[in-house]
């Protein structure tokens, strides 16, 4: 059986590829990348690397030739081709190439969420349903890596403005879980992947355990948070964009209690240990 992972040179993709090689053997793994030379530098030797950009449906279809199962990693918004159009291209390409199964990295409660980040994922889930392709939606909550300004020493350390909860877990755990779903014999249609529901105060407590410190987290206004990010050297517009990443936490989009991630992985890394590992990189 031939397995493919798209967007394979990103952090998520690299972890997924390495775990997939361990699970099924390098001869059964295809990595789909935008930049073939970058793929050769970052990905394990022995796997097949195929070049395709989500903006080019014909190229994606060609790259998916002979693929039985695809891990479709969602693209980043803001490209020359909209993410909605990119994802439509991938779904059409997978259907035309005869891919048997697609696992797609989505957004928490995507089908019902009103958060702006959910819109493209909601559309992609709809397209996959309508395509007739067998599929699973991997609705990933928040990566711990999204919180480096909170976790790392600096002007924004332990500062936050969002007043709600998230299901933080390391990006690598989400990637490993994705591979376990991809290689399973009878996957579910929907996985609400998340760590335990936690607040920023909980995150700060785990950070203190990880670092051996006793420092308190401080909630500030969104405007004050933007100013703290500007203290890192960001211009105002970039700082405002980064501050907006806490909005899905504040509006409750990431508040959920699901055991799917823990069950698929067979256990989660304790949050303080995950933080310690992240800060050591």
Q: Which residues contact 127 (CB under 8 A, 6 or more apart)?
A: 87, 88, 91
pLDDT for 155: 86
Contact 100, 82 (CB under 8 A): no
Q: According to the model, what pLDDT value does residue 90 have?
A: 98
The predicted structure's pLDDT at residue 246? 95
Burial class, 17, CB count within 10 angstroms (exposed 0-12 / middle 13-18 / buried 19+): buried
CB neighbour list of residue 162: distance below 8 Å, 6 or more residues apart? 200, 246, 247, 249, 250
The rounded distance, in Å, linking the Cα atoms of 257 and 19 is 26
In degrees and rounded to multiples of 5, residue 254 shows phi and psi of -105, 10
Quote the tokens at residue 96. 């035309």
The set of long-range contacts for 123-132, using a CB threshold of 8 Å and a minimum separation of 24, is: 123/84, 123/87, 123/88, 124/74, 124/84, 124/87, 124/88, 124/91, 127/87, 127/88, 127/91, 128/91, 128/102, 128/104, 131/91, 131/92, 131/94, 131/95, 132/95
83 phi/psi in degrees, rounded to 5: -60, -35
Could you write out the three-class secondary structure of 1-13?
Answer: CCEEEECCCCHHH
Residues 6+ apart with CB under 8 A from 277: 170, 269
Nearest to 150 by CA among 197, 198, 218, 212: 218
Give the model's pLDDT for residue 161: 98
Mean pLDDT per 10-residue interval, the chain, length 281 residues: 97 98 98 96 96 97 98 87 94 98 98 93 98 98 96 93 98 98 97 98 97 95 95 93 94 96 98 97 87
Q: Which of 124, 171, 108 is nearest to 144 (CA)?
A: 171
């Amino acid at each position: 059986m031939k397995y493919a992972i798209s967007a394979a040179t990103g952090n998520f993709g690299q972890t997924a590829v390495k775990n997939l090689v361990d699970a099924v053997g390098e001869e059964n793994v295809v990595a789909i990348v935008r930049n073939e030379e970058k793929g050769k530098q970052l990905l394990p030797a022995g796997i097949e690397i195929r070049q395709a950009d989500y903006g080019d449906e014909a190229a994606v279809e060609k790259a998916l030739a002979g693929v039985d199962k695809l891990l479709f990693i969602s693209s980043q918004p803001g490209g020359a081709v909209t993410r909605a159009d990119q994802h439509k291209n991938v779904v059409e390409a997978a259907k035309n190439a005869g891919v048997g199964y697609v696992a797609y990295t989505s957004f928490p409660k995507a089908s019902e969420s009103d958060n702006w980040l959910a819109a493209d994922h909601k559309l992609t889930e709809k397209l996959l349903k309508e395509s007739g392709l067998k599929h699973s939606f991997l609705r990933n909550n928040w990566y711990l890596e999204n919180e480096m300004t909170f976790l790392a020493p600096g002007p924004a350390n332990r500062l936050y403005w969002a007043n709600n909860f998230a299901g933080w877990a390391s990006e690598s755990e989400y990637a490993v879980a994705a591979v376990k779903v991809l290689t399973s014999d009878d996957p579910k249609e929907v996985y609400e992947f998340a760590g335990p529901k936690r607040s920023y105060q909980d995150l700060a407590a785990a950070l203190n355990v990880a670092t051996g410190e006793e420092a308190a987290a401080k909630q500030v206004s969104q405007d004050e948070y933007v100013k703290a990010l500007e203290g890192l050297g960001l211009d105002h517009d970039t700082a405002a964009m980064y501050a907006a990443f806490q909005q899905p936490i504040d509006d409750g989009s990431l508040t959920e209690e699901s055991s799917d991630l823990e069950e698929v992985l067979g256990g989660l890394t304790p949050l303080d240990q995950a933080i310690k590992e992240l800060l050591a990189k």
